[in-house]
Structures are given as C-alpha cells and as structure tokens.
Structure 1
Amino acid sequence: MIAWLNLGSLVLGVIAWILPAINISRYDKRSKNWVTLSIVSISACSFSLFFQICSFYEREKVEDWSALMDTVSVIASVSAILLSGTIILNAITLYIYRNRT
C-alpha cells in the first residue's frame, strides 16, 4: 500500500509540474484552457501531498518508526520543493496570461 501511495504521489507531482509547463509553452498558440490546466496542476500537487500524508499514516499504523525517522526529512524537503515549484510555475502562467482574458 505504501509503495502505491508513493508512486501515486510521484506521478501526481510530475503532472503538477508538466501542466504549467504546457501552458507556458502554448502561450503563442492562444490557449484558451490555461485556467483549467492551472487548477488541475494545483489539484495534482494537493493530492500528491495528501498521498504522502497517507503514506506517513500507514507507516505509523504498522509502527515502522525507523522508516518514519529515516524518511521524514527527505519527504518534507521534497514536498516543499514540489509545492514551491508548482506555485512558481502557476504564477508564471498567470503572469503571462494575465491580459488574455
């Protein structure tokens, strides 16, 4: 179960970064669905972080304290990077599309 949560978190994190990159790359083509892609990106980031919380909960349920202590600092750092990157990419998208609506 924990492996599936981690895999889902990774896939959703990648989606959270790819969608704003698609928005930015399609700027010249007059993309009309940039708001939808931004909302889906932020949602994917949220679900990715939720899967990490669920992963922590599963480890706590089985009392795998050594795994929690070994991974908590890395997961916290990667989660912060994911959240910051998603916010920055979506802010760039908002900035370049601000006069289009």
Structure 2
Amino acid sequence: MFGLLNLGSLLLGLIAWILPILNLTRDKKQNKNWVVLSTISICACGISLCFQIFYTYYKVTVEDWTALMDTMYAVAYVSAILLIVTIILNVITLKVYRRRTVE
C-alpha cells in the first residue's frame, strides 16, 4: 500500500506540469478557466510532495535506514525540481494571461 504513495506522487507531479502546459497551448478564447487549472496544478504539486513526506515517514517507522540513506538525495533533488518547475510554469502562465487580459 505504501508503494502506491510513490506512484501517486509521480502521477500528481506529472499533472502539476501538464496543466500549465495545457494552459499555455490553448487558444485564449477556449481557456477562460486558466486560474482554476493553475490552482489545481499547484495543489497537485503540494499533494505530490506530501506523499513523498508520508513515504519517508513510513520508511522511518519501519526503520528501513538503508533505503532512506540510498534514496534521500534523489528524493530531495527531484522534489526540488518538481516544485521549481511547477512554480516557473505557473508564473509563465500568469504572465501570459495577464498580458492577454490587458490587450
């Protein structure tokens, strides 16, 4: 069951990146709910990171120190990348749609 946390984290991370990309590729007339999609993207990123925290907590409770020592660097690095890219994509979306509403 706890292995599903990693799968859920991966899927939510992909959703966090796909939604802003969809926002940017859609025609402005089609996409009137870009704020909702950006909010869902940020929420998906947060839940994805939360799943990783829960999985790490599980590894600590079962005292699987070897797995923690082997994977923590990669988990921390990938989590930071997920957060940074999600923020950048959503900021780009915000700037594009702000510019479109001004015009």
Per the TM superposition, whether the score is higher than 0.5 is yes
Unaligned runs of 5+ in 1: none
Matched AA of 1:21: I
2:38 maps to: 38
- Alignment deviations for residues 43-77 of structure 1 (CA, whole Å, 9 cap, x no partner): 00000000000000000010000000000000000
- TM-score, length-scaled by structure 1: 0.95
SS at match of 1:98: helix
Number of equivalences: 101
Mapping of residues 9-88 of structure 1, within 5 Å: 9-88=9-88
Identity score, percent: 59
Matched AA of 1:48: S
Residues in 2 aligned to 1:33 and 1:19: alpha-carbon distance in whole angstroms: 11
Unaligned runs of 5+ in 2: none
1:29 Cα shift?
Answer: 3.6
Deviation beyond 3 Å, 4+ runs, structure 1: 27-30
- TM-score, length-scaled by structure 2: 0.93
1:30 Cα shift?
Answer: 4.3
Residues in 1 aligned to 2:31 and 2:13: alpha-carbon distance in whole angstroms: 23
- Alignment deviations for residues 8-34 of structure 1 (CA, whole Å, 9 cap, x no partner): 000000000000000000144441000
